[in-house]
Structure 1
Protein backbone atom coordinates (compact mmCIF):
# COMPACT_ATOMS: atom_id res chain seq x y z
CA UNK A 1 0.00 0.00 0.00
CA UNK A 2 1.32 3.46 -0.90
CA UNK A 3 2.03 5.89 1.95
CA UNK A 4 -0.68 8.28 0.67
CA UNK A 5 -3.24 5.46 0.69
CA UNK A 6 -2.19 4.36 4.20
CA UNK A 7 -2.52 7.93 5.52
CA UNK A 8 -5.96 8.20 3.92
CA UNK A 9 -7.09 4.88 5.38
CA UNK A 10 -5.83 5.90 8.82
CA UNK A 11 -7.83 9.13 8.61
CA UNK A 12 -11.00 7.41 7.39
CA UNK A 13 -10.83 4.82 10.18
CA UNK A 14 -10.33 7.56 12.78
CA UNK A 15 -13.16 9.64 11.27
CA UNK A 16 -15.52 6.64 11.27
CA UNK A 17 -14.84 6.00 14.98
CA UNK A 18 -15.30 9.70 15.75
CA UNK A 19 -18.66 9.82 13.96
CA UNK A 20 -19.89 6.67 15.69
CA UNK A 21 -18.84 8.04 19.09
CA UNK A 22 -20.80 11.21 18.21
CA UNK A 23 -23.90 9.04 17.73
CA UNK A 24 -24.01 8.70 13.94
CA UNK A 25 -24.75 5.33 12.35
CA UNK A 26 -22.51 4.34 9.45
CA UNK A 27 -24.42 3.24 6.36
CA UNK A 28 -21.59 2.92 3.83
CA UNK A 29 -17.83 3.40 3.48
CA UNK A 30 -15.76 3.91 0.36
CA UNK A 31 -18.79 3.67 -1.95
CA UNK A 32 -17.60 3.90 -5.55
CA UNK A 33 -19.48 5.18 -8.56
CA UNK A 34 -18.38 4.08 -12.02
CA UNK A 35 -21.07 5.39 -14.32
CA UNK A 36 -20.42 6.64 -17.82
CA UNK A 37 -20.76 10.27 -16.74
CA UNK A 38 -19.36 10.18 -13.19
CA UNK A 39 -16.58 8.39 -11.39
CA UNK A 40 -15.65 8.87 -7.77
CA UNK A 41 -15.98 7.75 -4.18
CA UNK A 42 -17.94 8.72 -1.12
CA UNK A 43 -15.72 8.23 1.93
CA UNK A 44 -18.48 7.77 4.51
CA UNK A 45 -22.26 7.81 4.38
CA UNK A 46 -23.89 8.01 7.81
CA UNK A 47 -27.22 8.60 9.47
CA UNK A 48 -27.61 11.39 12.04
CA UNK A 49 -31.14 10.99 13.34
CA UNK A 50 -33.30 11.36 10.21
CA UNK A 51 -30.52 13.01 8.19
CA UNK A 52 -28.34 11.18 5.67
CA UNK A 53 -24.83 12.61 6.01
CA UNK A 54 -22.25 12.40 3.23
CA UNK A 55 -18.81 12.79 4.80
CA UNK A 56 -15.64 13.74 2.98
CA UNK A 57 -12.55 12.84 5.00
CA UNK A 58 -9.32 14.74 4.47
CA UNK A 59 -6.14 13.66 6.25
CA UNK A 60 -2.77 15.32 6.39
CA UNK A 61 0.36 14.56 8.36
CA UNK A 62 1.32 18.22 8.90
CA UNK A 63 -0.03 21.72 8.30
CA UNK A 64 2.75 22.49 5.79
CA UNK A 65 0.18 22.68 2.99
CA UNK A 66 -2.70 24.05 5.07
CA UNK A 67 -5.49 22.46 7.08
CA UNK A 68 -6.91 19.21 5.68
CA UNK A 69 -10.37 20.73 5.29
CA UNK A 70 -8.97 23.40 2.95
CA UNK A 71 -8.58 20.68 0.31
CA UNK A 72 -12.37 20.46 -0.03
CA UNK A 73 -12.94 22.97 -2.82
CA UNK A 74 -16.22 24.08 -4.41
CA UNK A 75 -15.41 21.75 -7.34
CA UNK A 76 -14.97 18.82 -4.92
CA UNK A 77 -18.25 19.68 -3.17
CA UNK A 78 -20.10 19.75 -6.49
CA UNK A 79 -18.72 16.28 -7.30
CA UNK A 80 -19.80 15.04 -3.85
CA UNK A 81 -23.34 16.29 -4.50
CA UNK A 82 -23.48 14.37 -7.79
CA UNK A 83 -22.09 11.23 -6.13
CA UNK A 84 -24.61 11.58 -3.29
CA UNK A 85 -27.46 11.76 -5.82
CA UNK A 86 -26.26 8.48 -7.36
CA UNK A 87 -25.95 6.84 -3.94
CA UNK A 88 -29.46 7.98 -2.95
CA UNK A 89 -30.90 6.70 -6.24
CA UNK A 90 -29.65 3.21 -5.35
CA UNK A 91 -31.33 3.19 -1.93
CA UNK A 92 -34.79 2.27 -0.73
CA UNK A 93 -37.46 4.95 -0.41
CA UNK A 94 -36.94 4.95 3.36
CA UNK A 95 -33.42 6.38 2.95
CA UNK A 96 -33.93 8.26 -0.31
CA UNK A 97 -36.36 10.85 1.04
CA UNK A 98 -34.66 11.83 4.27
CA UNK A 99 -32.88 15.14 4.80
CA UNK A 100 -29.34 15.31 3.43
CA UNK A 101 -26.23 17.01 4.83
CA UNK A 102 -22.62 17.26 3.66
CA UNK A 103 -19.88 17.20 6.30
CA UNK A 104 -16.09 17.24 6.28
CA UNK A 105 -13.96 15.43 8.81
CA UNK A 106 -10.46 16.82 8.95
CA UNK A 107 -7.71 14.63 10.44
CA UNK A 108 -4.28 15.96 11.32
CA UNK A 109 -2.11 12.93 11.98
CA UNK A 110 0.84 14.50 13.73
CA UNK A 111 0.36 16.94 16.53
CA UNK A 112 1.96 17.20 19.98
CA UNK A 113 -1.10 15.56 21.54
CA UNK A 114 -1.69 12.88 18.89
CA UNK A 115 -4.14 12.89 15.98
CA UNK A 116 -6.60 15.79 15.87
CA UNK A 117 -10.08 15.22 14.43
CA UNK A 118 -12.28 18.15 13.46
CA UNK A 119 -15.88 17.56 12.32
CA UNK A 120 -17.34 20.35 10.18
CA UNK A 121 -21.07 19.72 9.81
CA UNK A 122 -23.16 21.18 7.01
CA UNK A 123 -20.39 22.50 4.77
CA UNK A 124 -22.51 22.54 1.63
Structure 2
Protein backbone atom coordinates (compact mmCIF):
# COMPACT_ATOMS: atom_id res chain seq x y z
CA UNK A 1 0.00 0.00 0.00
CA UNK A 2 1.27 3.45 -0.87
CA UNK A 3 2.03 5.82 2.02
CA UNK A 4 -0.51 8.30 0.63
CA UNK A 5 -3.25 5.64 0.68
CA UNK A 6 -2.36 4.62 4.23
CA UNK A 7 -2.47 8.26 5.36
CA UNK A 8 -5.85 8.74 3.70
CA UNK A 9 -7.31 5.62 5.31
CA UNK A 10 -6.02 6.73 8.70
CA UNK A 11 -7.62 10.14 8.25
CA UNK A 12 -10.93 8.58 7.30
CA UNK A 13 -10.85 6.31 10.36
CA UNK A 14 -10.08 9.27 12.64
CA UNK A 15 -12.87 11.31 11.04
CA UNK A 16 -15.33 8.42 11.34
CA UNK A 17 -14.52 7.90 15.02
CA UNK A 18 -14.92 11.62 15.65
CA UNK A 19 -18.29 11.77 13.87
CA UNK A 20 -19.58 8.78 15.82
CA UNK A 21 -18.45 10.43 19.07
CA UNK A 22 -20.48 13.53 18.15
CA UNK A 23 -23.60 11.38 17.70
CA UNK A 24 -23.61 11.10 13.91
CA UNK A 25 -24.44 7.74 12.36
CA UNK A 26 -22.14 6.54 9.57
CA UNK A 27 -24.20 5.31 6.62
CA UNK A 28 -21.46 4.61 4.07
CA UNK A 29 -17.69 4.67 3.55
CA UNK A 30 -15.84 5.20 0.29
CA UNK A 31 -19.02 5.08 -1.79
CA UNK A 32 -18.21 5.17 -5.48
CA UNK A 33 -20.08 5.80 -8.67
CA UNK A 34 -18.90 6.69 -12.17
CA UNK A 35 -18.62 10.38 -11.20
CA UNK A 36 -16.40 9.96 -8.14
CA UNK A 37 -16.21 8.90 -4.52
CA UNK A 38 -17.59 10.07 -1.20
CA UNK A 39 -15.23 9.47 1.71
CA UNK A 40 -17.99 9.24 4.33
CA UNK A 41 -21.75 9.57 4.34
CA UNK A 42 -23.36 10.23 7.71
CA UNK A 43 -26.68 11.11 9.26
CA UNK A 44 -26.45 14.03 11.71
CA UNK A 45 -29.66 15.16 13.44
CA UNK A 46 -31.72 14.04 10.46
CA UNK A 47 -29.45 15.69 7.88
CA UNK A 48 -27.59 13.61 5.29
CA UNK A 49 -23.94 14.66 5.41
CA UNK A 50 -21.37 14.00 2.69
CA UNK A 51 -17.94 14.29 4.31
CA UNK A 52 -14.75 15.03 2.41
CA UNK A 53 -11.71 14.04 4.47
CA UNK A 54 -8.30 15.54 3.76
CA UNK A 55 -5.24 14.19 5.56
CA UNK A 56 -1.71 15.55 5.78
CA UNK A 57 1.29 14.72 7.91
CA UNK A 58 2.08 18.44 8.23
CA UNK A 59 1.21 21.83 6.76
CA UNK A 60 4.42 21.90 4.72
CA UNK A 61 2.40 21.87 1.51
CA UNK A 62 -0.50 23.92 2.85
CA UNK A 63 -3.43 23.29 5.13
CA UNK A 64 -5.61 20.31 4.16
CA UNK A 65 -8.62 22.61 3.66
CA UNK A 66 -6.71 24.37 0.87
CA UNK A 67 -7.02 21.18 -1.21
CA UNK A 68 -10.81 21.53 -1.30
CA UNK A 69 -11.82 24.16 -3.82
CA UNK A 70 -15.20 25.15 -5.21
CA UNK A 71 -15.00 22.57 -7.98
CA UNK A 72 -14.38 19.79 -5.44
CA UNK A 73 -17.21 20.99 -3.20
CA UNK A 74 -19.62 21.07 -6.14
CA UNK A 75 -18.61 17.50 -7.07
CA UNK A 76 -19.15 16.29 -3.50
CA UNK A 77 -22.59 17.96 -3.44
CA UNK A 78 -23.51 16.22 -6.73
CA UNK A 79 -22.25 12.90 -5.38
CA UNK A 80 -24.31 13.39 -2.20
CA UNK A 81 -27.41 13.88 -4.36
CA UNK A 82 -26.55 10.73 -6.32
CA UNK A 83 -26.04 8.76 -3.10
CA UNK A 84 -29.39 10.00 -1.79
CA UNK A 85 -31.18 9.01 -5.02
CA UNK A 86 -29.59 5.56 -5.03
CA UNK A 87 -30.65 4.99 -1.42
CA UNK A 88 -34.20 6.35 -1.77
CA UNK A 89 -33.47 9.53 0.18
CA UNK A 90 -33.49 12.07 -2.61
CA UNK A 91 -35.66 14.52 -0.66
CA UNK A 92 -33.53 14.37 2.48
CA UNK A 93 -31.92 17.56 3.75
CA UNK A 94 -28.23 17.46 2.82
CA UNK A 95 -25.00 19.25 3.57
CA UNK A 96 -21.32 18.89 2.75
CA UNK A 97 -18.71 18.92 5.51
CA UNK A 98 -14.93 18.87 5.26
CA UNK A 99 -12.71 17.32 7.91
CA UNK A 100 -8.97 17.94 8.02
CA UNK A 101 -6.74 15.45 9.84
CA UNK A 102 -3.15 16.58 10.33
CA UNK A 103 -0.18 14.95 12.01
CA UNK A 104 2.42 12.20 11.70
CA UNK A 105 1.03 8.66 11.81
CA UNK A 106 2.59 7.80 15.16
CA UNK A 107 1.17 10.88 16.92
CA UNK A 108 -2.31 11.97 17.89
CA UNK A 109 -3.73 13.91 14.96
CA UNK A 110 -5.24 17.37 14.93
CA UNK A 111 -8.81 17.21 13.60
CA UNK A 112 -10.67 20.23 12.28
CA UNK A 113 -14.27 20.12 11.06
CA UNK A 114 -16.02 22.59 8.76
CA UNK A 115 -19.79 22.06 8.67
CA UNK A 116 -22.11 23.00 5.85
CA UNK A 117 -19.53 24.28 3.38
CA UNK A 118 -21.75 23.36 0.42
TM-score range with shorter-chain normalisation?
over 0.9
| Partner Cα separation in structure 2 for residue 11 and residue 114 of structure 1 | 11
**TM-score (norm: length of structure 1):** 0.89
Shift of 1:77: 0.7
Aligned 1:37-116 pairs, distance under 5 A? 39-92=35-88, 95-110=89-104, 114-116=108-110
| Partner Cα separation in structure 1 for residue 92 and residue 77 of structure 2 | 15
| Partner Cα separation in structure 2 for residue 53 and residue 81 of structure 1 | 10
Partner secondary structure for residue 117 of structure 2: coil
Of residues 50-59 and 74-83 in structure 1, the stretch that sits farther from structure 2 once superposed is 74-83
**TM-score (norm: length of structure 2):** 0.93
Runs of 4+ in 1 over 3 A off after TM superposition: none
Q: What is the CA deviation profile of residues 85-104 of structure 1, one whole-angstrom value per residue up to 9, with x for unaligned ones?
A: 21111012xx3322111100
Gapped runs of 5+ residues in structure 2? none
Partner secondary structure for residue 102 of structure 1: strand
Q: What is the CA deviation profile of residues 70-95 of structure 1, one whole-angstrom value per residue up to 9, with x for unaligned ones?
A: 11100101111221121111012xx3
Q: How many residues align?
A: 117
Partner secondary structure for residue 96 of structure 1: coil
| Partner Cα separation in structure 2 for residue 118 and residue 16 of structure 1 | 13
